[in-house]
Amino acid sequence: MNVKHIFIMSAFALTLGCSSAQQKSYGSFSDYPVYQDKWEEMVYNPASTVFSLWAPTAQEVRVLLYEQGEGGSAYKMLTMTPDKDGMWKVEEKGDLKGKFYTFNIKIDDIWQGDTPGVMAKAVGVNGDRAAIIDLKSTDPVGWEADKRPPLKSFSDIIIYEMHHRDFSIDTISGIKHRGKFLALTEDSTTTFLGEKTGIDHLKELGVTHVHLLPSFDFSSVDETKLDKPQYNWGYDPKNYNVPEGSYSTDPYKPDVRIREFKQMVMALHKAGIRVIMDVVYNHTAVTEGSNFERTVPGYFYRHDKEGKFANASACGNETASERPMMRKFMIESVCYWAKEYHIDGFRFDLMGIHDIETMNAIRQALDKIDPTIYMYGEGWAAGAPQLPEEKLAMKNNTYKMPGVAAFSDEFRDSLRGPFGNDARGAFVIGRPGHEAGIKFGLVGGVMHPQINNSPKHKVPKIWAESPNQFISYVSCHDDLCLVDRLKTTLPGASVQELMALQKLAETAVFTSQGVPFIYAGDEILRDKKGVHNSYNSSDSINAIDWRYKTQYKEVFDYVKGLIAMRKAHPAFRMGNAELISKHLEFIDVPASNVVAFRLKGNPCGDSWVNTIVVLNARTEPVKVDVPEGKYWIACRDGKIDLVMGLGVVMGNQLTVSPRSAMIVHQ
């Protein structure tokens, strides 16, 4: 066993003699110095470039300069000198714009291997070398005037989760830059049948936020071979602070991916749509050989009791967010995306691996930039992290993280069935016993006098302090999309049945007081051929088939109507637990597989009074007793009409058709 391995496994460094600088030794990771200034590894100006690297355990650090982003040998080597708080620095005179560089760190007499560093903000093809550029020159025309679309409250958010390639790769999309950042800059794109696609589809649908699956530089797609079909979701981080090259028109030119990403953000902002970025700070694509490990071995990752790399991510490692420099890395990285790229929100992959203190620190840092930037994540981990649960950003600890939201798997599973058992359905297909979980989701996961008061049907712990901390959804990129799940749980279902059930499920999501979230393509009955983990499947599995927008137009129109209704009527998005408890009242329905509620009065000044929503998952009509009155019908039998309405009903009873929702108001 060499000294490096002892260091990693025990978290103790040994003091070794060396031919250059004296190697520092530390008793434990908590003894490592913390760099207090802004963490930058390359600062360029035409007169000189300053390189910096935090490498507190290094004996020696070099910077290698290259003419190209790949291939060839370094044309110059610079020797760095120790600076304060574990930082190494060197300044090179002259204009280096357009050059590339790597660091190499010597620890325990072993050179760790080339790395672009951990804070690289521009890279060459495949991200192996960092690039020296003037970031200001990457701003597209009009970038300084770019503004975030207005957002009064988190309760006004409607999220649309999208993968760049899925959304635009279909040949009939009418999009020129298919599968690229620029796909979302093209307007007036349509199918050959005239249906709007791309950014015009998003505007037509009415969503407020687009959630982009990982768009930073990831490992799994070879950017030198883009002529060959390659696909990945991108949950395999390489360089966290650089856009992914395969989504650009030229991954060899470092400025192109940056500029095109900014063009995409600016185009979405002009369309009135905010941009959420999916961030994956909980693990790296590789452990040995990663940028973190080649820079400060052991420090950025957690280890188990045996000294091996811990693996709560199920991807080979888990990062140590509780360590000051990993926490600083996450805070500065998120803030960099918010400032440099005008990102409006962040979705944290396996957020439960991170510690609560770090998530709160990120929230506080973003509040200083813009408090309307939204934060949410998966409130769980793939395995047991190395920290006590009370310190982790798990779903049940959401109340400890004001301004941070989590996905509600309880609501999802109550609607469509449990994760890990594809064949078992739930409320939507008429399986009894899930009414309590539906109610839990409809109130946005907050305390309510009619929730968890039944000894027979209880839901898990109420964990949201505010409905804005509760993501309401029925499907996402993970697991089966909704249509595939319905086909599995209801074999032989007709197209008409699938459309009806899809509408019913989406009605629950969009009438929930939580923040609604829809998976791209669900609004046009998108399927993935039954593949539940399509992270590297082909386009034939993952691509949205834009012919479906014509084929299933009634589903699109229905979802569009739900979104318009939610936007127009604040009673569906009160954003306050006390208001929900006061105004949202569940109506007793003796029949199973039916949930009904009334929004009493006109909460938040809504123009609708005493709105009633009934979700009927039964295969026969159901009668629901309601307060006596005259009601205008906004939704019935799979149709929504907010302008003319769908008729009037008088009296104290509603009749709701099978497998459908009914929404009425006074």
Give the span between the Cα atoms of 218 and 261, in whole angstroms.
15
Catalytic status, residue 378: yes
- CA pair distance 42, 39, nearest whole angstrom: 9
Residue 247 burial class via C-beta count within 10 angstroms: exposed 0-12, middle 13-18, buried 19 and up: buried
Residues 6+ apart with CB under 8 A from 488: 422, 423, 480, 530
Structure tokens at 599: 């929004």
What 8-state DSSP symbol labels residue 13? P
> Where are the alpha helices (H) located in 123-193, listed in sequence order?
164-168
Element (H, E) at 32: none
CA distance 499 to 493: 10
161 neighbors 477 (Cβ within 8 angstroms): yes
CA 642 to chain centre: 31
Q: Please check whether residue 441 is in contact with residue 414, taking contact to mean a CB–CB distance below 8 angstroms.
A: yes
Closest to 580 measured CA to CA, from 459, 440, 452, 474: 440
From CA 508, how far away is CA 472, in angstroms rounded? Answer: 9
Distance CA(202)–CA(184), nearest Å, equals 10
CA distances from 250 to 223, 224, 643 (A): 9, 10, 47
CA distance 158 to 209: 6
Q: How far is CA 666 from CA 337, 373, 443, 510, 607, in A?
A: 46, 36, 21, 20, 9
Phi, psi of 509 (to 5 degrees): -65, -45
Quick one: DSSP state of residue 298? T
Query: Which of the residues 60, 349, 410, 523 is marked catalytic?
Result: 349
How far, in Å, CA of 241 to CA of 210, rounded?
20
Q: How many whole angstroms from its chain centre is CA 329?
A: 19
Map residue 427 onto helix, strand or coil. helix
**112 close to 105: Cβ distance less than 8 angstroms:** yes
Cα 127 from chain centroid (whole Å): 22
**Cα(453)–Cα(449) distance, rounded to whole angstroms?**
7
Note the Cα 464 to chain centre separation in Å: 19
Triad 513, 516, 519: Cα angle to 5°: 160
Q: Which residues lie below 8 Å from residue 57, measured CB to CB, with a gap of 6+?
A: 7, 13, 23, 24, 25, 26, 32, 107, 296, 297, 299
**Cα separation of 622 and 433, whole Å?**
17
User: In angstroms, what CA-CA distances link 291 with 246, 562, 565, 600?
Assistant: 20, 46, 48, 56
DSSP three-state, residue 24? coil
**Residue of 378, 422, 435, 527 marked catalytic:** 378
Please name every residue paired with 500 in a beta bridge, in sequence order, or none if there are none: none
Which residues are known to be catalytic?
Answer: 349, 378
